Amino acid sequence: MTLFLAALLLLFASALAALVLGRARAANLAGPLGCAAGCALGLASAVGALFSATPPALHLPWNIPFGALSLAIDPLSALFLLPTFTLGGAAAVYGRGYLSAMAGKRNLGAHWFFFCLMLAGMALAVCATNAVLFLISWEIMSLSPFFLICLDHDNDAVRAAGRTYLFAAHLGTAFLMAFFLIMGRLAGSLEFAAMARIAPGVLAPLAPALFCLALAGFGVKAGVFPLHVWLPEAHPAAPSHVSAFMSGALIKAGVYGILRSLILIGPMTPWMGQALVALGLITAVPALLIGIGQGELKRFLAFSSIENIGIMILALGLGILAASTGHPGAALLAFSGMLLHVVNHALLKGLLFFSAGSVLHAVGHGSMERLGGLAKRMPVTALAFILAGAAISGLPPGNAFFGELLIYVGGGIAALDLPLPSAGYAWACVAGLALIGGLSVIGFTRASGIVFLGEPRTDDAANAHDPDLSMRAAMVFLAACAAGAALASPALLRMILPAVRPLLAGQSPDLPAASSIVVNPEALLQTAVWIAAGATALALVLVLVRRWLLAGRPVHVGGDRGTWDCGYARPAPRMQYTASSYAEPMTSMFRRLLGETRRVKPPRGLFPAQGTASFASATPDRARDGLFLPLFTAVGAACDAVKRFQHGNLNLYILYVLATLVILLAFSLEFFA
């Protein structure tokens, strides 16, 4: 606990130091340095807590009503601290390089102040065991990104994105307050420990309402459909190290919240599992379908984050369904796969946003159709993005494969053992995961193929180069972490299992646990690691065989030898396949659903003049345009109607006061009774 508190203190201290330094160049040194040091301390405390027999805890009185400084790093909290501090530290190092051009010109002190505050807020939120402390740190964590997103506030689009984020964050907190007030009233205390002791009989009638409140409140943060709309707006607008942290770690706070509230609500019921499976599928599949139609690199990555949250929700639902129907084996696999995916996704998404940020930094924009050929110009960035893209699609030997494998096998066992109506959900899980994996492959081959391979489509892409040392170091660090997480996934699983136990505890033990298939998750992962490593080694051997076969034979590389392209004489970069063409088979298949719009000006005549024909397609986010825009417009109109009472005329205001007083007087005299 001392280490954790020291980490928090260091974060707050560097926040203040950065704030004081303000526009000075040193702010871009003190901020990231203090941040990285704080994260290193925090990481040490989290790892220590994972291995300690009793969770470190702290309880101090506080003079806020019902509040107390109650902190505890139980295994679940420690598990979510891991990505927070790993990614937070890496993002700080990366951000120093990313913002170096602005140092001395803009107020980077304020930026680093809010960055440290966001890290500290999230660390506090996942460790708080008192509802008041939790909500306060949750608000710190939710509000600071607004200032981080709006770094480039001269830009209209950035301000609009910041506003969307702010609305979403506040809406979520409103649900959370309701959730904790109800729980607190039932428990008679706002301590989590007291809430966990509420008698099941008292809680049962309210459980559905509480479940929905928690899901709505935390779902906004996590980006669950249809509450995901802030992600694709905020991520492209924010500086890349901020989007990396938000996508990799911050949205996981929502997942943490859902898990924590489920543990507090108590015995899980099959319908919760079924609802979460359905919610996971309708989060992940549409997110990717919309995502593969996006032309902006970071916007696509935002949709991929929503998809991965969908996978986590899906696995959570599968685990609850299996646990509540007496299949703890499948539930264990699903829950541990989900938590493993939380860690793996954080590393990979951080790496992807870092490399996308390097592209933005080098070229100045992230529009795929205007990029290309970057692999030759920025080899480190390209390698990071392509391999992380393969890994995040769940392909072996990437680290995300191992988490998804556990979910798959859990789903497979549930699909075999559950009775018929419930088994359908397990089948949907397995088939849905396969579809999600395939869609993710489309999305990431498209993004990495169009952006990094081929020939540059514009001059700015042709002049790109790899970023400076601090940015490269952050990428290499995360890549090494991801490779380590893949190789050591059995060990990682062993660290995760204590966090799974509270989810499995309290499930009705009287149900029959009849399973024909017993899988030891650790042994399964060990086998999978051997196979993945073997396949990788085999690929390397084959590369050597290829080299040996080619030795002494005529090999012509490059020079005047262009791509054959069926003998086309003068290929030009503009003739390459585009990002929209690549996604076209899929987007046109789901055109009705997605509402894709196309603007086509076909070529006319036998010799169309240059620039007269054009084609553009865009895939909107229907949840945003169809649901939230009309909703908020309606709320805005209602507010406008109220504005009529606010004239600015003093006489009128005095009349209001008088009228109110008369009505109150009438009430107190029981005039209406």
Partner 1 sequence: MTAALSVVLPLALAPLAAGVVNRVKALFGGRRGKPLAQSYRDILKCLGKGATISRTATWLFRAGPAANLAATLGALLFVPLGNLPAAISFPGDIFVFAYLLAMGRFFTIMAALDTGSSFEGMGASREAVFSCLAEPMLFLALMALARYADNLSLSGMLAAVSSGSWLSGAPVLALVTVSLFLLLLSENCRVPFDDPNTHLELTMIHEVMVLDHGGPDLGFIQYAQTLKLWIFSAVTASLLLPAASGSAALDALWGLAGLFAAAVAVGVTESIMARLRLIRVPPLLAAAGAFAALALVLVGD
Find the binding residues for partner 1 in span 50-79 (CB under 8 A): none
Question: CA 368, CA 661: separation in Å to the nearest integer?
Answer: 63
Find the binding residues for partner 1 in span 239-298 (CB under 8 A): none
Of 83, 257, 372, 467, the one binding partner 1 (CB under 8 A) is 372
Find the binding residues for partner 1 in span 513-552 (CB under 8 A): 516-517, 519, 524, 527-528, 531, 534-536, 538-539, 541-543, 545-546, 549-550
Binding segment for partner 1 among 164-172, 574-582, 627-635, 649-657 (CB under 8 A)? 574-582
Find the binding residues for partner 1 in span 385-424 (CB under 8 A): 386, 390, 393-396, 401, 405, 408-409, 412-413, 415-416, 419-420, 423
Contact present, 99 and 239 (Cβ < 8 Å): yes
> In whole angstroms, how far apart are CA 403 and each of 340, 433, 435?
5, 12, 17
Binding segment for partner 1 among 204-212, 460-468, 572-580, 654-662 (CB under 8 A)? 572-580
Of 11, 277, 583, 594, the one binding partner 1 (CB under 8 A) is 583
Find the binding residues for partner 1 in span 307-336 (CB under 8 A): none
Smallest separation (angstroms) from partner 1 to the CB of 211? 29
Question: CA 191, CA 536: separation in Å to the nearest integer?
Answer: 50
Nearest in space to 486 (alpha carbons), one of 551, 418, 435, 533: 533
Binding segment for partner 1 among 143-151, 156-164, 249-257, 577-585 (CB under 8 A)? 577-585
Whether residue 397 is preceded by a cis peptide bond, meaning omega within 30 degrees of 0, is yes
120 bridge partner residues = none
Smallest separation (angstroms) from partner 1 to the CB of 547? 9
Binding segment for partner 1 among 15-23, 42-50, 309-317, 453-461 (CB under 8 A)? 453-461
Of 437, 464, 477, 493, the one binding partner 1 (CB under 8 A) is 437
Binding segment for partner 1 among 157-165, 360-368, 471-479, 553-561 (CB under 8 A)? 553-561
Smallest separation (angstroms) from partner 1 to the CB of 521? 10
φ, ψ (nearest 5 deg) of residue 177: -60, -45
Nearest in space to 100 (alpha carbons), one of 290, 357, 343: 357
Of 40, 198, 453, 497, the one binding partner 1 (CB under 8 A) is 453
Contact present, 235 and 78 (Cβ < 8 Å): no
- What angle separates helix 156-187 from helix 131-149, to the nearest 10 degrees? 180
Find the binding residues for partner 1 in span 332-361 (CB under 8 A): none
φ, ψ (nearest 5 deg) of residue 21: -70, -30
Question: CA 24, CA 491: separation in Å to the nearest integer?
Answer: 45
- Which is nearer to partner 1, 6 or 441 (by Cβ)? 441
Smallest separation (angstroms) from partner 1 to the CB of 268? 23
| Burial of 109 per CB tally in 10 Å (0-12, 13-18, 19+) | buried
Question: How many residues in the shown chain lie near partner 1 by CB under 8 A?
Answer: 86
Find the binding residues for partner 1 in span 82-141 (CB under 8 A): none
**Residue 269, amino acid:** T
Structure tokens, 77: 């909290």
Query: Is position 177 an interface residue for partner 1 (rule: CB under 8 A)?
Result: no
- Which is nearer to partner 1, 193 or 483 (by Cβ)? 483
Structure tokens, 20: 């004081």
Of 430, 485, 492, 499, the one binding partner 1 (CB under 8 A) is 430
Structure tokens, 652: 């009128």
| Burial of 620 per CB tally in 10 Å (0-12, 13-18, 19+) | middle
